Structure 1
Amino acid sequence: MSKVSIIFVYNADSGLVNEMKDYIHKIVSPSEYECNLCAITHSNTGMKGEWKSFVNDLPVPVVFLHRDEFHEKYNYPGVSFPCVYLERGQRLDLLVASDEINECNNLDDLEALVKDKLKFISGN
C-alpha cells in the first residue's frame, strides 16, 4: 500500500523574517492578511489547540508546508494558496482548493470542510 498523507499549504513563505512580517500583518491589518488557513488555525502565539487536536485525530499523517517549501518539494505549477493536497505515493491530488478555504469563517467551518472532503475520498 502506498503512503498517504494530507498536506496543508499556507499562503505564506517560510523563514524567520517572513514569520515576523506575517505576525505584524495579522496584528496591524488582519482583514487584509492573505492566508486564511493561517488566520483561522493560528493565534499570535502559535497553532490553536483545537486545530492541533483536530489534525492529530485525522486518520492519516498531516504535513504543513509554506508555499515556497511546497514549490521546492513538488515543483507543481498553477497552484493557488492556501490549499490542501492528498499525497498518495507519487500522486498529488487537490483535496481542498484555496477558494474553499477562503470561504471558511472559523475553525468549525474549516474542520467540517476537511472532514467532508475526506469522506468523499474514502467513500464513507
Structure 2
Amino acid sequence: MRNNTELVFVYNADSGIFSSIKDSIHKSISPKTYGCNLCGLTYGKLSMKDEWKTFIKGLTFKTEFLHKDEFKKKYPKYAMTFYPAVFKKEGAQLFPFISADEINKQKSLEELKQLIQNKIQTLQAII
C-alpha cells in the first residue's frame, strides 16, 4: 500500500521533442559528458528501461517525474536546485531527498536503485 508521501524525480534535461532528440544524440555520442545521470541510468536510447519501470512500480511511494523546465514552472520556489534531484513531497511541501551529487556518484542503475532503497528505509524508520 502506498502512503501519502510522493517522490518527485527531476531530470537535468528540458522537456520537448527537440530537447529529447538532442539529449538522445548526446547520450549516444558522449555519455560521459551528458549532464543528467538520472536520465543516463534509467533510460535507454529511446525509452525508460524496463528494470527501472519495475523498480518504480514496486516503491511504497507515489512518484512523479519532471524535466527541469517543468519542475521550475510547477515549483518555482525550488528553481535554484541542482539537477538531477529527487524530492520528498508531503502535501504541498517539498523536501530534498536525494541530491544531484548523490545521483551523479552512481555508476549503474543497480547502484541508483540501492541508493533510493536505502533512503526510503531511513525515511520509513523515522516515520
Shorter chain as normaliser: what TM range?
over 0.9
Where does residue 79 of structure 1 map in the other structure? 81
Query: Can you list the C-alpha shifts for 1:13-64, whole angstroms capped at 9, x where unaligned?
Result: 0000100100111111111100000000001031111100000000011110
State how 1:1-124 maps to structure 2 within 5 Å.
3-75=4-76, 76-123=78-125
Aligned residues: 123
Worse-superposed segment, 65-74 or 3-12: 3-12
Query: Can you list the C-alpha shifts for 1:48-89, whole angstroms capped at 9, x where unaligned?
Result: 111000000000111100000000000014200000001000
Secondary structure of 1:123 counterpart: helix
Name the amino acid aligned to 1:22: D
Secondary structure of 2:88 counterpart: strand
- Contact 2:4 2:61 survives alignment (8 Å): no
Secondary structure of 1:46 counterpart: coil
Percentage of matched positions with identical amino acids: 40
Worse-superposed segment, 70-79 or 31-40: 70-79
Normalised to the residue count of structure 2, the TM-score between the two structures is 0.93
| Counterparts of 2:4 and 2:56, CA distance in 1 | 17
Please list every run of 5 or more consecutive structure 1 residues that lacks an aligned counterpart in the other structure: none
Secondary structure of 2:86 counterpart: strand
Name the amino acid aligned to 2:66: L
| Counterparts of 2:64 and 2:6, CA distance in 1 | 7
Normalised to the residue count of structure 1, the TM-score between the two structures is 0.95
| Counterparts of 2:82 and 2:68, CA distance in 1 | 9
Distance apart, 1:115 and its partner CA: 0.6
Please list every run of 5 or more consecutive structure 2 residues that lacks an aligned counterpart in the other structure: none
| Counterparts of 2:46 and 2:89, CA distance in 1 | 29
Secondary structure of 1:51 counterpart: helix
Name the amino acid aligned to 2:55: F
Name the amino acid aligned to 1:53: T
